[in-house]
Structure 1
Amino acid sequence: MLTTSEFKPAFWLRNPHAQTLFASLMRSLPPLAVEAERLELDDGDYIDLSWLPAAGLAEDAPLVVVLHGLNGSLESKYARGLLREVAAHGGRGVLMHFRGASKPNRLSRSYHSGETGDLGIVLARLRERYPQAPLAAAGYSLGGNVLLKYLGEQGSESLLTCAAATSVPYDLKTCAYAVQRGLSRIYQAHLINGMREIVEAKIRDGIIEPLPDLHRLRDFPSFDNAVTAPLNGFADAYDYYARASSRSFLKGIRTPTLILHARDDPFMSPDVVPRADELSDAIRFELSENGGHVGFVSAGRFGAPVYWLEERIPSYFRGRLPGFEPAAEDSAVGETG
């Protein structure tokens, strides 16, 4: 179902860039205690997990996996904010750092928008560890694309009870060019710099051979053509975009899934939004006019910022994820920035 979102931006924060930058830069870092785990993989690599403390939780407590965006990590404010809400709802919470996102991984391959194999491995390990716990996942931006692609690939075999995805680049080729226009080029430069740092660290560690002209790769098509595609088994950037985009997988989703998207997302153009006939019956797609990219900042009492995603995603999980209920009326969503 494609429907209109109930999100209303803060009256003082209607611009899409203001929404995006306020949520990522101006918000204070939500405090969060975590326990680290390194999950060793059969191919010799690893994935780092960051767990909420789980003392006193029953074995069947609901478990929510949070998937970060490009250059994201445990330091991503949206991820920490949602994990705090998971704790407030009596759930286990874990952030999955994609391969190479926490520290340079051991192999030449890296995480990317279409890498669903690692997510499948993590979910299978969690299912083995907590066989009675219902599983849910929430993905943001790149992490949302990975999540939706996984759900579409797995269909009725998905290990998840429900899911939520926010600000997803459903069509990677379209987004790669949209972010080159106007002020959006600032985001492109920031993201490319972060990706370049990961590659440079792996070169220093001797994991991959030096790549020529890294600093001349200043847009996504050139970077993905020179780095992402060859390191991950794609013929070129366009092969990567075609095979990794989640849009063509939406029809195959059978898990109840909430998708949140703002029409003014500065990382992409409005035509990236899927049509209603591209969605499966399991999807509830809520489209808002405002919200920016992983912004969705509304206003509370006296205009104080409210991080609406941390209201909407838990409210969707309630009733769909057994045992996921708030411990008290008050939660962590109304903090000031």
Structure 2
Amino acid sequence: MPFSDQAPRLELAPFRARLPWLGGDLQSVRNALAKPVPPRPAARSSRLILPLADGTGDRLHVTLDEPAAPRPGLPLALFAHGVSGSEDSYYMLATAARLIERGYHVVRLNLRGAGPSRIDCKRHYHAGRSGDLRDAIAALPTALTANGAVAVGFSLGGNTVLKLAGEQGAGGPVVAVASVCAPIDIGLTTANLARRRNKVYQKVLLKPFKAEYVAPGAELSDALRAAVERARNFAEFDATVTAPRNGYASAQAFYDDNGARHHVAGIRVPALVIAAQDDPIVPFAPYAAIDWRALPWTIPAFTRTGGHVGHHGRDGIWYVEAIDRFLASLEQR
């Protein structure tokens, strides 16, 4: 059952919000308020530790979910989380459950310095660390990656998988990607988070992000540790920490090099791109500015409502259904 390397024609049902979660903000905070219990598919889960190849000695801790009824010929599904997320973020577990039920092996990454990976990392993830995903795929057992990998990213992780696909082009280990609410213009997203109306979002995301950045094991100069402490928002953090720590002259230089909007033209594998126009965190304008018709490998799946990694619909989570249908359309039966 080989995986098709052609961009599919995909028809998705329109998104219809589930009451009472109306509007971008309620859609975005629904999981935090309702605290839903993640689905538990029939699977065996185990811990893998994957070395990174950049000479730092950093290692990623990941969870491998092996379905009770695997289907031969399918690629591995590799998941990347968002800011302050981990392998156990609800969106990771909900999407993994659907794919496991369909026979996919799933690897849920803890990005560099996040969650269980924190104890084995001197450095930290950012939206453009696509090389970490390449290293993770290369370090996995070949039996898992024999049919390639589908990279699925949420929020920050969505930017990373789109950048990875654009850099790879055709013929690499990634055979398809799906992104959910990716900040494809990192600078504009950072500026949007600094708005007064987004004060709560910024606080909820920044506080744990800063805590894991300076957690035991992190290799930081005293000056950078002080800059982490002083940063009042992500704009200040990127200017005083992210850019200098990663060798960029300015935050803008970091944004220009790592934003997926600068890389999507290079995508040569099927790519599902999900975004909501009322996302309160990630502005939709960068998506609207791209001529997706000129990018035949990409499938834009844009909704009027849905919020940020929300899409809580009347029949479940819409982006989970969209990813499921996308992968089904690529399978050669």
TM-score range, shorter chain: 0.7 to 0.9
In structure 1, which of residues 32, 46, 64 is the aligned counterpart of residue 77 of structure 2?
Answer: 64
In structure 1, which of residues 176, 186, 197 is the aligned counterpart of residue 200 of structure 2?
Answer: 186
CA 188–206 in structure 1, closer or farther in 2 if over 3 Å, else same? closer
Q: Give the letter for the 1:183 counterpart.
A: R
Is contact 1:23–1:294 with CA below 8 Å preserved after alignment? no
Superposed CA deviations along residues 203-231 of structure 1, whole A, max 9, x for unmatched, are xx463233225333111111112221222
| 1:312 and 2:325 aligned | no
Shift of 1:40: 2.3
User: Aligned with 1:319: secondary structure?
Assistant: helix
CA 172–5 in structure 1, closer or farther in 2 if over 3 Å, else same? farther
Is contact 1:5–1:288 with CA below 8 Å preserved after alignment? no
User: Using the alignment, how far apart are the partners of 1:289 and 1:65 within structure 2?
Assistant: 28
Pairing of 1:95-110 with structure 2 (within 5 A): 95-102=108-115, 103-104=117-118, 106=120, 108-110=122-124
Superposed CA deviations along residues 3-59 of structure 1, whole A, max 9, x for unmatched, are 997212124222211000003442423144621111123421101111113456366
| 1:34 and 2:51 aligned | no
Superposed CA deviations along residues 264-284 of structure 1, whole A, max 9, x for unmatched, are 100033322243425511001
- 1:249 counterpart residue number: 263
Q: Give the letter for the 1:154 counterpart.
A: Q
User: Using the alignment, how far apart are the partners of 1:2 and 1:265 within structure 2?
Assistant: 23
User: Using the alignment, how far apart are the partners of 1:176 and 1:250 within structure 2?
Assistant: 20
In structure 2, which of residues 301, 311, 328 is the aligned counterpart of residue 286 of structure 1?
Answer: 301
CA 80–224 in structure 1, closer or farther in 2 if over 3 Å, else same? same
- 2:28 counterpart residue number: 20
Shift of 1:135: 2.3
Shift of 1:239: 1.4
Pairing of 1:1-337 with structure 2 (within 5 A): 6-32=14-40, 34-42=45-53, 43=55, 44-54=57-67, 57=70, 60-102=73-115, 103-104=117-118, 106=120, 108-126=122-140, 128-130=142-144, 132-202=146-216, 205=217, 207-210=219-222, 211-212=225-226, 214-277=228-291, 280-300=295-315, 306-322=316-332
* TM-score in terms of structure 2 length: 0.87
Shift of 1:62: 3.3
Shift of 1:321: 3.7
Structure 1: gaps spanning 5 or more residues: 301-305, 324-337
User: Aligned with 1:168: secondary structure?
Assistant: coil
Is contact 2:113–2:213 with CA below 8 Å preserved after alignment? no
User: Using the alignment, how far apart are the partners of 1:222 and 1:131 within structure 2?
Assistant: 39
Q: Give the letter for the 1:7 counterpart.
A: F
Number of aligned residue pairs: 316
Instruction: Name whichever of 188-197 and 211-220 sits farther off.
Output: 211-220
Structure 2: gaps spanning 5 or more residues: 1-8
User: Using the alignment, how far apart are the partners of 1:58 and 1:3 within structure 2?
Assistant: 24
- 2:4 counterpart residue number: none
User: Aligned with 1:309: secondary structure?
Assistant: helix
- 1:333 counterpart residue number: none
CA 88–208 in structure 1, closer or farther in 2 if over 3 Å, else same? same
